[in-house]
Structure 1
Amino acid sequence: DLPADYYVTGLLYANSVNTAPLGTIDAFVKTGIKEVREPVPEREIDAFFALMQKKKIDIEAIYASLLEEGLDAFQKAFAEIMKELEKG
C-alpha cells in the first residue's frame, strides 16, 4: 500500500501541476513533507526507454491507451459536473 500522499510527494517537481484528489492533498498538507524533487537524469530516462524497446514493449500503444482512458474519464467527470450544475 502506498502512503495517502504518495501522488503528491512522489511527483513534487518544480513547475509541475498536480491534479490529485482532495483527500490526497489533505494527506500531503498533514505530512509536512514539501521537498521538491530533482528531475530524473536524462541517462536514466534513456536507459528506461532502451529497456522498454529491448523487451519489445510498445510504449506508443501504451501512451495511446492511457490517453484514451484519460479522455474518457474526463468526459464522464465533466458530464457529471455539468449535470450537477444544471440542477442549480
Structure 2
Amino acid sequence: MGWRFFQHRKNRAKPWIMWLSILISSLLFGVAHLGANTVLAPLTWFIFFRMMLLNGIAGIVFGWLFWKRSLEAAMMAHATVHIVITMMVWLKAMV
C-alpha cells in the first residue's frame, strides 16, 4: 500500500518504503498471534514482549522473502516454522 500511495507512477518501490512496510506488517503479524499465545500461557508483560519479539523477527524474514522472492516463498517459510515448532513440541512431550 505504501508503494501504491507514495510511488504510484513508479514500476518499483524504493527500498525505504518496502522496509517500512515490512516493519509495520511485522508488528501486525506479532499482534495477530496474541490469541494463540494467550491459549498457551497467561498473558504477562514478559510473554507479550517475547511474543512480539519472536513473531516480529519472523515477520521481518517473511516480509523480506515476500519482497525479494514471492508470496509463496513467504508462505512456505511460515508453514515450515510451524511444522518445526510442532515437531519440537512433540519430541519434548515424548522425552
Normalization by structure 2: what TM-score? 0.32
Answer 1 or 2: which has greater helix percent. 2
Normalization by structure 1: what TM-score? 0.34
In terms of Rg, which structure is larger?
A: 1
